Amino acid sequence: MSDIAWNTASIIPKCGTIDRALQERLSAVENVLTEEHRTHSNQDRTDFEINAWEVQLLAEGGYNYRWLVSYTTKYHTLDSNEIFSHRKIIMREPKEKASACQIENEIAFLTYIAKHHPLLPVPKVYAYNIKQSGSDSPYIAMEFIDGQPLDSLWFGLTELEKATVANEVAEVIDKFHSPAFYDVGPYPSTHAYVLACYDKEIYYYLNASADDLDEDLFENTSKEKFIESLRTTRNRLFSDESSFLPQGPFALVHGDFCGRNIVVHNGHISAIIDWEFAGSYPLSELLGGLGVELFALEDHNLLEYGEWSNRIKDAVVEKVRSRGWDEDKVALLVGEGNREVQLARREIIPMDDEVDEDEDDEDEDDEDENDKDEDGKDEDDGSADVSREGNLGEEKGEGAMMAVGDV
């Protein structure tokens, strides 16, 4: 999803309700821009009128609508002159299933980065509304960034242009884990962070009302048994720090850093957008063994995907080594990530287990044999069984857990 204009965007006819809500939003934007004008120029503006506007739907994603709003304003100055301005802004409206936390998180990160780390290119936030208020719904009004998403441009770029953009992507990643972002957040260690994630999940399931819980999640287990399984895993992690990587700094993690959220204009990165899932996470989660998704991975582009992802990783490693990083810290950055962190930072729900209990009993002896190492010793150290799909539970059946989606 990108803050860009598409040639196929449709013009939305104006109606009374849209006009009133949009007038209020554009007035809020103009109040900000007028104050900026007073700060940076000697010419004072007294009032303004919004004369005309055009609204185009740019894109619709799982959580948001994005609109391009083009409008004209007329300003009056103290010496009775009139000044006309034509502007473009992005209006982002969340869908019903988007949480207020996502909106607040995006606003907070865009504002923080623009103020404290201006070398990271992000859209400026002009105005916003987090909650339903009167006739208006939640929205974010932000700067229009000219360009196209990298994933839609990639295969039309020359090798030199690809190399240029890839190096700029590596520079952005390098800024994500610069010392300026260290020690952001309340957690003193990765261990403390993971325990807090489980505390949050336990608190939620203990206090959520019936209306807030999906009944389908508890077809094969009760809420009480599921909460107990969360507590069991939390207690295991509390007493077993061996499952954690060596402690490193916390870094800025975008949460969805990929080609569709990298805006490119004239061959260079002009903005990084969609910060709703951003957060401060352990360094091992910045890349997490996944590489960088510059474009959608398909069978016919596997080799190119791997080549450029590795080239970006190599460039990042070169940059951090030039800053004096030792190899242990480099390994944290470009390693496979931390399994426990990756699971804990996601929403945890009961696992839908359809394995027949009789089949479990028949296979029990075989499974016990498979759990022993070459010396006949039991390999199970009591840790949770985690599959590649993110299943988390000490055994199949009631109380097992699955991690889904970043929170």
Q: Give the 3-state secondary structure of 287-348.
A: CCCCCCECCCCCHHHHHHHHHHHHHHHHHHHHHHHHCCCCHHHHHHHHCCCCHHHHHHCEEE
| DSSP secondary structure letters along 183-201 | T-SS-SSHHHHHHHHHHHH
- The full length of the chain comes to 407
Nearest to residue 2, comparing CAs of 70, 67, 55, 97?
Answer: 67
What pTM does this model have? 0.73
| DSSP secondary structure letters along 12-35 | PPP-HHHHHHHHHHHHHHHHHHHH
pLDDT(399) > 50: no
Q: Could you tell me the pLDDT band of residue 400, with boundaries at 50, 70 and 90?
A: low
Q: Is 21 exposed, middle or buried (0-12, 13-18, 19+ CB in 10 A)?
A: middle
d(CA 338, CA 187): 16
pLDDT(331) > 90: no
pLDDT(40) > 60: no
pLDDT at 251: 84
Q: Could you tell me the pLDDT band of residue 80, with boundaries at 50, 70 and 90?
A: confident
Tens-digit pLDDT profile for residues 342-365: 888 888 888 754 333 444 444 444
What is the mean pLDDT of the segment spanning 69-73? 83
pLDDT(393) > 60: no
CATH architecture of structural domain 10-145: 2-Layer Sandwich (3.30)
pLDDT(198) > 90: yes
What is the mean pLDDT of the segment spanning 57-71? 83
What is the mean pLDDT of the segment spanning 180-203? 82
pLDDT at 219: 86
d(CA 292, CA 315): 12
- The domain segmentation of the chain, as residue ranges, is 10-145, 151-406
Residue 356 Cα distances to 229, 318, 359, 361, angstroms: 20, 52, 5, 9
d(CA 330, CA 318): 10
Higher pLDDT, 402 or 381: 402
pLDDT at 159: 96
pLDDT(252) > 70: yes
Which range, of 75-79, 196-200, 208-212, averages the lowest pLDDT? 75-79
pLDDT at 398: 39
Q: Is 22 exposed, middle or buried (0-12, 13-18, 19+ CB in 10 A)?
A: buried
Higher pLDDT, 316 or 76: 316
Q: Could you tell me the pLDDT band of residue 179, with boundaries at 50, 70 and 90?
A: low
Average pLDDT over the chain, rounded to whole? 76
Nearest to residue 171, comparing CAs of 337, 322, 327, 326?
Answer: 322
Which range, of 76-85, 152-161, 315-324, averages the lowest pLDDT? 76-85
pLDDT(30) > 90: no
**Cβ-proximal residues to 49 (8 Å cutoff; 6+ apart), any chain:** 73, 74
Nearest to residue 341, comparing CAs of 196, 203, 229?
Answer: 196
pLDDT(184) > 50: yes
pLDDT at 359: 41
Higher pLDDT, 287 or 146: 146
| DSSP secondary structure letters along 97-110 | TS-HHHHHHHHHHH
| Bridge partner list, 148 | 264
Which range, of 127-136, 143-152, 268-277, 331-340, averages the lowest pLDDT? 127-136
Pairing of strands 139-143, 385-386: unpaired
pLDDT(11) > 70: no
d(CA 185, CA 179): 14
pLDDT at 133: 64
Q: Could you tell me the pLDDT band of residue 64, with boundaries at 50, 70 and 90?
A: confident
pLDDT at 99: 74
pLDDT at 265: 96
Which range, of 38-52, 271-285, 360-374, averages the lowest pLDDT? 360-374
Q: 151-406 belongs to which CATH class?
A: alpha beta
pLDDT(13) > 50: no
The torsion angle over the Cα atoms of residues 109, 110, 113 and 114, rounded to 10 degrees, is -160
